[in-house]
Amino acid sequence: MPRSAPNASFREAASMAQTRPQSHVVLPAAAEARAPAPVTVLAVDDQAIFRRALRELIDATPGFRQVGEAESGAEALEQVARLHPDLVLLDVRMPGMDGIETAQRLEEQDPDAVVVLVSLDPLPDVAGVAGVPNIRKQALSTKALAELWATYRPAGDAARR
């Protein structure tokens, strides 16, 4: 009787259990249970092409998962209230409520969310005054995203990423 792939994996794990002490056996389900929860991200940009680029970047970054997107500051406030993301990537220049005003409101609404302003252009001086981390869109990469989280994540969240 041929062995199926799931049975082969189980049998391999069972075989390893016979040759190793019990404390060293790690089954896939047990490994998943100990894996840290992914960093949840909301992408906010008024341009669909940049929201798609952010989605692809987040998908390509291990340990990160996009939970939503918004195309305006007002929509970002609604999404954050509903989704409670860990990280908000927020375009600076948007019609209506811009990214800087949105970031200030998000700080009041959900102080645990890490908000990062993103822009194609050098950021205005007021962005630094607001105390919000920022990055140029051209500099965004999987490494930069992980470094932003490592630098600005809440102090009690050191276990993730």
CA–chain centroid gap for 160, Å, is 11
Lowest mean pLDDT segment, chosen from 17-31, 37-51, 69-83, 96-110: 17-31
Percent of the chain whose pLDDT exceeds 90: 61
Q: What is the pLDDT of residue 5?
A: 41
Query: Does position 33 have pLDDT exceeding 50, yes or no?
Result: yes
Please give the pLDDT value at position 113. 94
| Residue 154: pLDDT band with limits 50, 70, 90 | confident
Largest CA distance in the chain: 71
pLDDT per residue over 89-137, tens digit each?
A: 999 999 999 998 999 999 999 999 999 999 988 776 555 545 788 899 9
Q: Name the amino acid, one letter, at 71.
A: E
* Full DSSP string of 9-39: HHHHHHHHHHHS-GGG---HHHHHHHSPPPE
Interatomic CA distance for residues 119 and 98, integer angstroms: 11
For 39-50, how does the pLDDT look when each residue is reduced to its tens digit (9 = 90+)? 999 999 999 999
- Given pLDDT bands bounded at 50, 70 and 90, which one contains residue 29? low
CA angle 33, 151, 86 (to 5 degrees): 50
In angstroms, what CA-CA distances link 86 with 13, 17, 20, 66? 36, 38, 39, 10
* Start and end residues for every CATH 3.40.50.2300 domain found in the chain: 36-157
The rounded percent of the chain whose pLDDT value lies above 70 is 70
Which residue type does 74 have?
A
Task: Provide the whole-model pTM.
Answer: 0.74
The DSSP letter of residue 3 is P
CATH value of 36-157 in 3.40.50.2300, 3.50.30.30, 3.40.50.970, 3.40.50.300 = 3.40.50.2300
